[in-house]
Amino acid sequence: MKAYLLAVAAAALLCSFVQSLVPDGSARRAISLAAGLLAAIVILRPIMTLHTDDVAAAIGRGIMSGEIARTQIETDNREAVAAIIKEKCEAYIWDKAEREGVAVQSIEVTLTGDGAYPAPDSAVIVGKYTKNQRESVTDWVEANLAIPEERQSWTWN
Protein backbone atom coordinates (compact mmCIF):
# COMPACT_ATOMS: atom_id res chain seq x y z
CA MET A 1 0.00 0.00 0.00
CA LYS A 2 2.91 2.32 0.84
CA ALA A 3 4.50 1.72 -2.59
CA TYR A 4 1.18 2.38 -4.31
CA LEU A 5 0.66 5.68 -2.49
CA LEU A 6 4.25 6.73 -3.30
CA ALA A 7 3.73 5.91 -6.99
CA VAL A 8 0.50 7.96 -7.10
CA ALA A 9 2.20 10.90 -5.36
CA ALA A 10 5.24 10.71 -7.67
CA ALA A 11 3.02 10.60 -10.79
CA ALA A 12 1.03 13.59 -9.55
CA LEU A 13 4.21 15.58 -8.89
CA LEU A 14 5.70 14.64 -12.29
CA CYS A 15 2.50 15.60 -14.13
CA SER A 16 2.29 18.89 -12.29
CA PHE A 17 5.98 19.69 -12.94
CA VAL A 18 5.78 18.91 -16.68
CA GLN A 19 2.59 20.97 -17.08
CA SER A 20 4.21 23.94 -15.40
CA LEU A 21 7.07 23.90 -17.96
CA VAL A 22 4.81 23.96 -21.04
CA PRO A 23 3.34 27.32 -22.17
CA ASP A 24 -0.42 27.78 -22.76
CA GLY A 25 -1.81 26.53 -26.04
CA SER A 26 -2.36 23.29 -27.87
CA ALA A 27 0.90 21.76 -26.58
CA ARG A 28 -0.22 22.33 -22.98
CA ARG A 29 -3.58 20.65 -23.71
CA ALA A 30 -1.78 17.66 -25.21
CA ILE A 31 0.58 17.46 -22.21
CA SER A 32 -2.40 17.76 -19.84
CA LEU A 33 -4.10 14.88 -21.64
CA ALA A 34 -0.95 12.76 -21.44
CA ALA A 35 -0.48 13.66 -17.76
CA GLY A 36 -4.09 12.67 -17.03
CA LEU A 37 -3.60 9.34 -18.80
CA LEU A 38 -0.38 8.72 -16.86
CA ALA A 39 -2.15 9.50 -13.57
CA ALA A 40 -5.07 7.22 -14.48
CA ILE A 41 -2.71 4.35 -15.36
CA VAL A 42 -0.81 4.73 -12.08
CA ILE A 43 -4.03 4.93 -10.04
CA LEU A 44 -5.74 2.01 -11.84
CA ARG A 45 -2.69 -0.26 -12.09
CA PRO A 46 -3.66 -2.43 -9.07
CA ILE A 47 -7.07 -3.09 -10.63
CA MET A 48 -5.50 -4.07 -13.96
CA THR A 49 -3.19 -6.58 -12.26
CA LEU A 50 -5.95 -8.38 -10.36
CA HIS A 51 -6.44 -12.03 -11.17
CA THR A 52 -10.02 -13.15 -11.56
CA ASP A 53 -9.33 -16.19 -9.36
CA ASP A 54 -8.17 -13.90 -6.53
CA VAL A 55 -11.24 -11.68 -6.92
CA ALA A 56 -13.55 -14.70 -6.94
CA ALA A 57 -11.83 -16.13 -3.85
CA ALA A 58 -12.14 -12.79 -2.02
CA ILE A 59 -15.83 -12.54 -2.92
CA GLY A 60 -16.36 -16.14 -1.78
CA ARG A 61 -14.64 -15.41 1.55
CA GLY A 62 -16.84 -12.34 2.01
CA ILE A 63 -20.00 -14.29 1.29
CA MET A 64 -18.93 -17.10 3.64
CA SER A 65 -18.14 -14.61 6.42
CA GLY A 66 -21.58 -13.08 5.98
CA GLU A 67 -23.24 -16.50 6.17
CA ILE A 68 -21.31 -17.39 9.31
CA ALA A 69 -22.32 -14.10 10.95
CA ARG A 70 -25.97 -14.56 9.92
CA THR A 71 -26.03 -18.11 11.26
CA GLN A 72 -24.54 -16.99 14.58
CA ILE A 73 -27.13 -14.22 14.89
CA GLU A 74 -29.94 -16.69 14.17
CA THR A 75 -28.56 -19.09 16.78
CA ASP A 76 -28.28 -16.30 19.35
CA ASN A 77 -31.83 -15.17 18.58
CA ARG A 78 -33.21 -18.72 18.95
CA GLU A 79 -31.44 -19.09 22.29
CA ALA A 80 -32.81 -15.74 23.49
CA VAL A 81 -36.34 -16.66 22.38
CA ALA A 82 -36.04 -20.04 24.14
CA ALA A 83 -34.89 -18.38 27.37
CA ILE A 84 -37.81 -15.95 27.25
CA ILE A 85 -40.36 -18.70 26.54
CA LYS A 86 -38.97 -20.86 29.37
CA GLU A 87 -39.02 -17.96 31.82
CA LYS A 88 -42.56 -16.90 30.88
CA CYS A 89 -43.92 -20.47 31.10
CA GLU A 90 -42.40 -20.94 34.54
CA ALA A 91 -43.83 -17.60 35.69
CA TYR A 92 -47.31 -18.50 34.35
CA ILE A 93 -47.29 -21.83 36.16
CA TRP A 94 -45.96 -20.22 39.34
CA ASP A 95 -48.69 -17.56 39.29
CA LYS A 96 -51.47 -20.09 38.63
CA ALA A 97 -50.16 -22.44 41.33
CA GLU A 98 -49.98 -19.64 43.89
CA ARG A 99 -53.52 -18.51 43.00
CA GLU A 100 -54.64 -22.06 43.69
CA GLY A 101 -52.87 -21.99 47.08
CA VAL A 102 -49.86 -24.15 46.21
CA ALA A 103 -46.75 -23.29 48.25
CA VAL A 104 -44.38 -23.35 45.27
CA GLN A 105 -40.66 -23.83 45.90
CA SER A 106 -39.46 -24.24 42.32
CA ILE A 107 -40.64 -24.79 38.77
CA GLU A 108 -38.53 -26.03 35.89
CA VAL A 109 -39.90 -26.06 32.35
CA THR A 110 -38.03 -27.81 29.54
CA LEU A 111 -38.54 -26.89 25.92
CA THR A 112 -38.52 -28.79 22.68
CA GLY A 113 -37.30 -27.26 19.45
CA ASP A 114 -39.03 -29.51 16.92
CA GLY A 115 -40.83 -26.62 15.23
CA ALA A 116 -39.70 -23.21 14.10
CA TYR A 117 -39.87 -21.94 17.69
CA PRO A 118 -39.16 -23.66 20.98
CA ALA A 119 -42.28 -24.89 22.78
CA PRO A 120 -42.83 -26.10 26.35
CA ASP A 121 -42.36 -29.86 26.58
CA SER A 122 -42.36 -30.78 30.28
CA ALA A 123 -42.56 -29.23 33.73
CA VAL A 124 -41.26 -30.12 37.18
CA ILE A 125 -43.16 -28.46 40.02
CA VAL A 126 -41.88 -28.64 43.58
CA GLY A 127 -43.94 -27.44 46.54
CA LYS A 128 -46.70 -28.23 49.01
CA TYR A 129 -50.15 -28.86 47.56
CA THR A 130 -53.38 -30.74 47.95
CA LYS A 131 -54.77 -33.23 45.48
CA ASN A 132 -57.35 -30.68 44.24
CA GLN A 133 -54.70 -27.97 43.86
CA ARG A 134 -52.49 -30.31 41.88
CA GLU A 135 -55.36 -31.39 39.61
CA SER A 136 -56.42 -27.79 38.98
CA VAL A 137 -52.91 -26.62 38.09
CA THR A 138 -52.22 -29.77 36.04
CA ASP A 139 -55.37 -29.18 33.98
CA TRP A 140 -54.50 -25.50 33.52
CA VAL A 141 -50.92 -26.29 32.40
CA GLU A 142 -52.22 -28.85 29.91
CA ALA A 143 -54.88 -26.49 28.53
CA ASN A 144 -52.75 -23.34 28.37
CA LEU A 145 -49.19 -24.55 27.78
CA ALA A 146 -49.92 -27.86 26.01
CA ILE A 147 -47.86 -29.87 28.49
CA PRO A 148 -49.81 -33.10 29.04
CA GLU A 149 -50.19 -34.53 32.53
CA GLU A 150 -47.75 -37.35 31.68
CA ARG A 151 -44.95 -34.79 31.22
CA GLN A 152 -45.72 -32.90 34.43
CA SER A 153 -43.75 -34.03 37.44
CA TRP A 154 -45.01 -32.95 40.86
CA THR A 155 -42.80 -33.28 43.94
CA TRP A 156 -44.10 -32.76 47.47
CA ASN A 157 -41.64 -30.79 49.54
DSSP letters for 76-139: HHHHHHHHHHHHHHHHHHHHHHHHTT-EEEEEEEEEE-SSSS-EEEEEEEEEE--HHHHHHHHH
Size of the chain, expressed as the number of residues it contains:
157
Asked if 18 and 10 count as a contact pair (C-beta separation under 8 A), the reply is: no
Q: In the predicted model, what is the mean pLDDT of the chain?
A: 90
pLDDT in tens, 101-112: 999 999 999 999
Q: How confident is the model at residue 133 (pLDDT cuts 50, 70, 90)?
A: very high
Under the banding of pLDDT at 50, 70 and 90, the label for residue 147 is very high
| pTM (predicted TM-score) | 0.62
pLDDT greater than 70 at residue 65: yes
